[in-house]
Structure 1
């Protein structure tokens, strides 16, 4: 058979996203950290009134309307913002611009496994530094390694913890390469690292509208960084990477902070209740500042429970990798969905069936 691919592409494994059942399937989906509530009514109103002229013409190449909205909400200049087809595209842009064979891509583990996939695409040297059991940042190891790109997810998936800003500040000040702070779950957290982009030109904060704004299907994210850093990233970005519909709908969604904050408050309250219920079943949990929980079953039989729940029409996430084999990542759903999950888990733990 003819080999069409570069050797590093042949050798790498594909990123495996959470299962996506067909629309209309009766299933409780708690595996991809999607928001259980609908998007802002303002965003849906924009979608219902799309002008066909928007589709005939190419969109704004830099997502100008959305950049202005982000600028107003976050209080940062619009030229400090880069818009992407989901935050994943921006992670890819950074890697394409900054990583290559002989350059190091560094991150603590366990974390978002797409970092590895993106680095493998560029045949970069990958260095994974283990988190300790309490998920404190391996700061000194990260500094000594001094990657061309260092990824820190904060809040982190699958652990749900936030990295203290003082640790991130020290890391940024000691690295010679780019520090990517992935804040995909920041809407559910009590703090953020946005201030660091003003202090350090090697820092980029990356966010998404997939989680807090209920727009995972829209594929819209953005990064905030010093224009000196963005200058190189814009060279790598596709010419028209943000479609006109995504830009218009995303602008309405991020402008409606009242609605987003109300949904986030409901999810936080549900997170507290779900955590309490799981603890009563004997699960060990890690404190979470996200819309999911990392949970260790009392008998450590995570894969078994994952499979049994799937048979019952409940999807959660199981990662068969070091440090996670005995744990489950559970998205916080509506209170009704969470209670169905808890009742099913209680039955499975009690009967072993």
Structure 2
């Protein structure tokens, strides 16, 4: 079984501009830092709330979903693992479009599940009818998708949820705060829909590992059976609750990221890259027919990390997280110099 490969992290002492793991370039709310300081006292000797009550209550108020329909996790990755564990036995089918978040492959392998990988359309559109025809026990759509950043209309996801009937449809909305719509409304009409949210991206809390699962109470009850007793620590719970209470701070940061994202996509296209419309906090820059692995390596040599995936579907692409304007200007200077340096920065495929 192949292990999941997370994005590269700078080594101690390395000074790199980090545009490879889709973190928010701006800090979390000042209220979050104060909440962490308050939580870092004598109460640390006590176990945290096993059901993350205050965090879930804050999520309930923000999203208009009853607490009985919310489960908190150590990042949405833990919640994905719980869903796979609670849903799939060896030989069961799980379906999702590809390319997408590669952790799904690892989780399926752990369960011994059979993956139905359905290629995205040429414009990165999700093949809704093919996913419905797969009739998998579990279907997953990352929306906006990673690594493409493209968004599937909620009406299309509603069609898929209806076609799947009682089979679970997980909609992984890790990046949805950077988009204009959300599938959250589908929870009211489709008991088989599960929504995942992350506080790593829009709320600037990747280091705290906080995620939310929103689903019908029966689904939540099933997931509780496979949840660790105390899966979130006191500091993370305090940070998460306060972040959700200060949603205005998050939304201001999101708007800043979106402005830089649109400018970056324009500049990349001017340099000859193909860039699909992104509703996430990153862009996918492609040069069809060209292996961009050497270009990623050259950018690292110049002090900038971007993400290159050494898979056939993505060798011609770089996924670039949106940084601050200064970080993106540094990226474009390095890109220009690297591309002008010649073919060593990206070999043509034979």
Give the TM-score normalised by the residue count of structure 1.
Answer: 0.94
Q: Render the CA deviation track for 1:286-343: whole Å, top value 9, x for unaligned.
A: 1000000000137724112101001111000001112211011000000000001001
Pick the aligned partner of 2:8 from 13, 19, 23: 19
Aligned to 1:4: none
Indicate conservation of the 8 Å contact 1:13/1:117, yes or no: yes
Indicate conservation of the 8 Å contact 2:40/2:235, yes or no: no
Give the TM-score normalised by the residue count of structure 2.
Answer: 0.95
Distance 1:298 1:144, change over 3 A: closer
Indicate conservation of the 8 Å contact 2:39/2:234, yes or no: no
Secondary structure of 2:265's partner? helix
Pick the aligned partner of 2:31 from 32, 42, 67: 42
| Distance across 1 between alignment mates of 2:100 and 2:323 | 22
Q: Render the CA deviation track for 1:20-64: whole Å, top value 9, x for unaligned.
A: 113553110000000011111000111223243321111111100
Aligned to 1:77: 66
Aligned to 1:149: 138
Secondary structure of 2:184's partner? coil
| Distance across 2 between alignment mates of 1:182 and 1:78 | 19
Structure 1, unmatched stretches of 5+, are 1-11
Structure 2, unmatched stretches of 5+, are 345-350
Check if 1:349 corresponds to 2:336.
no
| Distance across 2 between alignment mates of 1:260 and 1:221 | 15
| Distance across 1 between alignment mates of 2:110 and 2:291 | 34
Secondary structure of 1:128's partner? strand
| Distance across 1 between alignment mates of 2:245 and 2:187 | 22
Secondary structure of 1:158's partner? coil
Aligned to 1:118: 107
Pick the aligned partner of 2:247 from 228, 252, 257: 257
| Distance across 2 between alignment mates of 1:19 and 1:45 | 30
Check if 1:184 corresponds to 2:135.
no
Check if 1:86 corresponds to 2:75.
yes
Structure 1: which 4+ aligned runs deviate by more than 6 Å? Answer: none
Check if 1:138 corresponds to 2:144.
no
Secondary structure of 1:49's partner? helix
Aligned to 1:275: 265
Deviation of 1:242 (Å): 1.3
Aligned to 1:6: none
Q: Render the CA deviation track for 1:73-110: whole Å, top value 9, x for unaligned.
A: 11111111000000000000000000111211110000
Secondary structure of 1:284's partner? coil
Indicate conservation of the 8 Å contact 2:93/2:113, yes or no: yes
- Give the number of aligned pairs: 342
Q: Which moved more, 1:46-55 or 1:303-312?
A: 46-55
Deviation of 1:114 (Å): 0.3
Pick the aligned partner of 1:288 from 278, 293, 304: 278
Check if 1:202 corresponds to 2:192.
yes
Deviation of 1:279 (Å): 1.4
Taking only aligned residues, the RMSD between alpha carbons, in angstroms, comes to: 1.2
| Distance across 2 between alignment mates of 1:14 and 1:91 | 16
